[in-house]
Amino acid sequence: MGKKKIIQKSGEELIKESEAVESALKKEPQVKIPSTKKIAEGRIFISSTYNNTIITLTDNYGNVLSWTSAGKIGFKGTKKSTPYAASKVAEALVQITKKMGIEKVQVIIKGIGSGRESALRSLATHGLNITSIKDITPIPHGGCRPPKPRRV
């Protein structure tokens, strides 16, 4: 092994390099979020499956502010998919929205689980101002092509 070559930079080059690094760090994100103001409006996504109910709180830009699910609260196994668990999940999310100061919400429901209606009712009864309810559950259009008949 020979001697290693050490590159020395002048003071001006070091200053230019540090300015380039700082400007790269100071670039603003593509989506601007009003961080100093309280967020007045938001969206709540309810995903209700056969196994769990997941509720996500986002701002109007789609950035996730908080989420909770039946498993996160403490329900295990088949109890996670019950309407009671879904209402408790919605209740927990309402407390978070009130701490953040969110008053108006749009509710978007997806899935065919048993907790979708009870979660929505729980959101309404705990004092959230629901401006719109939208169902985005995917609908099958006729399914896949059936297999050919078997030839023996």
Angle (nearest 5°) at CA 136 between 99 and 54: 40
The domain segmentation of the chain, as residue ranges, is 41-135
Could you tell me which CATH class the domain 41-135 is placed in? Answer: alpha beta
**Mean pLDDT to the nearest integer, 3-17:** 72
Is the pTM higher than 0.75? The answer reads no
Distances (CA, A) of 109 to 20, 33, 46: 46, 24, 5
pLDDT of residue 140: 82
Per residue in 90-138, pLDDT (tens digit) is 999 999 999 999 989 999 999 999 999 999 999 999 999 999 999 999 9
Per residue in 70-102, pLDDT (tens digit) is 999 999 999 999 999 999 999 999 999 999 999
Of residues 1 and 19, more confidence is placed in 19
